[in-house]
Amino acid sequence: MLGLVWVAANALILAPNYSQIREAMLSGASRAMPAMFIFLLIGIVIVTFIQAGTIGTLIYYGLEFMHPGIVLPAGLILCSLMSLAVGTSWGTVATGGIVLLGVGGAMGIPLPIIAGMVISGASFGDKMSPVSDTTNLSALSAETDLYQHIRSMAYTTGPTYLIVLLIFSWIGWGYADHALPQARLDVLLEGLQQAFKINIIMLLPLVVLFALSMKRVPAEAAMMLASLTAGLMAIAFQERTLEQVVTGFYDGAIVTTNVETLDTLLNRGGISDMTWTYTLAVIAISLGAILEKFGFLRVLLEFLLKRIKRKGTLVASTILTAFASNLAIAESYISIILTGQLYKKSFDDQGLDRSVLSRSLEEGSTLLTALIPWTTTGVFYAATLGIPTMEYIQWSFLNWMNPMVGILFAFLGIGMFRQNPQQNRGAESGL
């Protein structure tokens, strides 16, 4: 907020009157409204998925079928599915991550390795989920279609994910002979069974969300239909009342398992859970709009931009700028917005589709923010998992390998989509 006031004060030197500054902020907010609406829907998706037992069923099946040799690869897949479902790496780390840390630690697997696996899986879903705030924010900042953004990320994230899965499978094989703490798992499984009716049918809301996303149904409609499905299932199968479901839209889920760890994991979601992201985005978007309108952003890196001649260099510069912004600002949301504002014209000048820009924003900001000890994400992960950032950083393979793959593919010309004017008409075209 102080940054916004300072930039606005400087803009007064260039603007004849304050109305031009206000107009710039309102214009930025107008472009952002589709994504801002999605932020609120994300909270509703999370709480209805918890109430319907979808999240509980994912955790239950993940725990039930695990043995020491597959904890790492299975945990990676479980965290990926959870973060894809709820669209948040923080929520996944705070839920399945804590459970997997306890299970894997009891099997003798070093905790930093488990933490790296959890963060890799959680970051994958957070990056690729259509209900993720960073996914929508990156598409918004680059002014590209949400699903085109996700498809673009698949070109670099897909191969990286397969490599990471193989690495964790190889590491996990070394712990295949460790004893499984069945008694500890039984307590967790019984707690989930007490709170929810566990059945594969409870995964239906997740199937609905994925199916609609694959058919390119607008994100708002896909999330509302998936939430409606989950809400009806919560009433029909989980003995939730209509009042509990509707009240949960804002206040979040209220779950009692008589297992403290699970109660902490499952009592979250709702619109109120997203208000911090929402309000921060409003301020950051207003800040970015002023910086763009009055030329501050271009002046900051004009020297660098003039010397970018190759498409590969442009992608590498975007990723590194987003990373440097994270180092300086300590907040990935603002980094995504400011870097996107700065590089949009350069991608247009090179004839590259804006989805290449949005992909680079995610690789430089969403993924790498987890590896910086003083960012909000790095602090949250270290505090939640109890593992210092510098101890899990080397095991968070996806987070540091994906940006490297993104830069390599850019220089090789892989996934460098040409610009389609119909896909770059602003946030209103696909968000």
Q: What is the pLDDT of residues 254-310, one digit of tens each?
A: 888 877 767 766 777 788 877 776 777 677 778 777 877 887 766 777 767 767 778
pLDDT bucket at 364, cuts 50 / 70 / 90: very high
Q: Are 426 and 31 in contact (CB under 8 A)?
A: yes
Give the pLDDT confidence score for residue 123 in this predicted structure: 94
Give the pLDDT confidence score for residue 251 in this predicted structure: 87
If we measure between CA atoms, which residue out of 185, 192, 186 comes closest to residue 102? 185
- Residue that the structure tokens 């957070």 belong to: 126
pLDDT digits (tens, 9 = 90+) for 112-159: 999 999 999 999 988 898 878 788 889 988 988 888 999 999 999 999
In a domain? residue 22: no
Give the pLDDT confidence score for residue 72 in this predicted structure: 92
Give the pLDDT confidence score for residue 119 in this predicted structure: 96
Q: What is the mean pLDDT of residues 328-332?
A: 71
Q: 79 and 174 in one domain?
A: yes
pTM for the model: 0.69
Q: What is the mean pLDDT of residues 223-241?
A: 92
pLDDT of residue 421 exceeding 80:
no
From 206-215, 370-379, 382-391, the region with the lowest mean pLDDT:
206-215
- Residue that the structure tokens 């930025």 belong to: 28
In a domain? residue 377: yes
Give the pLDDT confidence score for residue 323 in this predicted structure: 92
What the block records as the tokens of 135 is 């996914």
Q: Are 152 and 143 in contact (CB under 8 A)?
A: no
Q: 194 and 332 in one domain?
A: no
Q: Are 119 and 391 in contact (CB under 8 A)?
A: no
Q: 363 and 328 in one domain?
A: yes
Give the pLDDT confidence score for residue 296 in this predicted structure: 79
Q: 264 and 169 in one domain?
A: yes
Q: 77 and 217 in one domain?
A: yes
In a domain? residue 57: yes
Contacts 24+ apart (CB under 8 A), 415-419: 415/152, 415/155, 415/156, 415/356, 415/359, 416/311, 416/315, 416/352, 416/356, 417/152, 417/352, 417/353, 417/355, 417/356, 418/351, 418/352, 418/353, 419/347, 419/348, 419/351, 419/352, 419/353, 419/354
pLDDT digits (tens, 9 = 90+) for 55-114: 888 778 867 777 777 889 999 998 998 788 767 787 678 667 877 876 777 677 899 999
Give the pLDDT confidence score for residue 150 in this predicted structure: 92
Give the pLDDT confidence score for residue 157 in this predicted structure: 95
In a domain? residue 385: yes
Q: Name the domain boundary from 218, 241, 275.
A: 275
In a domain? residue 165: yes
DSSP 155-166: HHHHHHHHHHHH
Give the pLDDT confidence score for residue 158 in this predicted structure: 95
pLDDT of residue 428 exceeding 50:
no
pLDDT bucket at 423, cuts 50 / 70 / 90: very low
pLDDT of residue 401 exceeding 90:
yes
Residue with more model confidence, 11 or 108: 11
Give the pLDDT confidence score for residue 95 in this predicted structure: 63
Give the pLDDT confidence score for residue 311 in this predicted structure: 87
If we measure between CA atoms, which residue out of 230, 217, 185, 240 comes closest to residue 52? 230
In a domain? residue 418: yes
- Residues 324-338 as b/e (b if ≥16 CB within 10 A, e otherwise) read ebbeebbbbbbbbbb
Q: 315 and 237 in one domain?
A: no
Across 104-175, the runs of DSSP E, i.e. the strands, are none
Q: 206 and 155 in one domain?
A: yes
Give the pLDDT confidence score for residue 94 in this predicted structure: 67
Q: CB under 8 Å to 274, separation ≥6 — which residues?
A: 39, 40, 42, 43, 133
Q: 360 and 312 in one domain?
A: yes
DSSP 368-416: GGGG-TTSHHHHHHHHHHT--HHHHGGG-HHHHHHHHHHHHHHHHTTT-
What the block records as the tokens of 116 is 């790296």
Q: 228 and 344 in one domain?
A: no
Give the pLDDT confidence score for residue 83 in this predicted structure: 84
pLDDT bucket at 171, cuts 50 / 70 / 90: very high
Q: CB under 8 Å to 337, separation ≥6 — which residues?
A: 137, 141, 281, 284, 285, 287, 288
* Torsion of Cα atoms, 229 then 34 then 125 then 190, to 10°: -40
What the block records as the tokens of 53 is 């037992």
Q: What is the mean pLDDT of residues 177-194?
A: 74
> Rounded to 5, what percent of the chain is helix, strand, coil?
80, 0, 20
Domain count, the chain: 2
Q: Where do the H-state alpha helices sit in 301-364?
A: 302-306, 311-329, 332-349, 354-361
Give the pLDDT confidence score for residue 106 in this predicted structure: 64
Pairwise CA distance, residues 34 & 60, whole Å: 35
Q: Name the domain boundary from 212, 242, 275.
A: 275
In a domain? residue 410: yes
Q: What is the mean pLDDT of residues 359-365?
A: 94
In a domain? residue 26: no
Give the pLDDT confidence score for residue 190 in this predicted structure: 85
Backbone angles phi, psi at 418, to 5 degrees: -80, 155
Q: Are 132 and 38 in contact (CB under 8 A)?
A: no
Q: 258 and 313 in one domain?
A: no
Q: Name the domain boundary from 240, 275, 310.
A: 275
Q: 323 and 202 in one domain?
A: no
Q: Are 102 and 140 in contact (CB under 8 A)?
A: no
Q: What is the mean pLDDT of the chain?
A: 83
Q: 97 and 38 in one domain?
A: yes
What the block records as the tokens of 89 is 């790496």
pLDDT of residue 424 exceeding 50:
no
What whole-number percentage of the chain has pLDDT above 70? Answer: 88
Identify the domain containing residue 396 by its residue range. 296-429
pLDDT digits (tens, 9 = 90+) for 19-61: 888 888 888 777 667 767 777 787 888 889 889 998 888 778 8
